[in-house]
């Protein structure tokens, strides 16, 4: 799951992002207050 932290009226909120467009030779950083990737551990075998 990919989220982006946004600030609305002094309150931070994480919103779901479907994709991030990176221009040729561009970069994206996963930093506090920016984009956030949340990986879930597999529950298989239970």
The most distant pair of C-alpha atoms in the chain lies apart, rounded to whole Å, by 45
User: What pTM did the predictor assign?
Assistant: 0.54
Reported as a single tens digit per residue, the pLDDT across 2-30 is 888 888 888 988 888 888 889 999 998 88
> Given this model, what pLDDT does residue 24 score?
96
- Asked whether the beta carbons of 16 and 1 are under 8 A apart, the reply is yes
Distance between start and end Cα atoms, the chain: 23
> Given this model, what pLDDT does residue 25 score?
96
């Amino acid at each position: 799951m990919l989220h982006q932290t946004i600030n609305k009226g002094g309150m931070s909120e994480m919103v779901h992002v479907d994709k991030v467009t990176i221009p040729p030779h561009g970069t994206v950083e996963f930093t506090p207050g920016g984009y956030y990737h949340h990986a879930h551990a597999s529950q298989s075998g239970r």
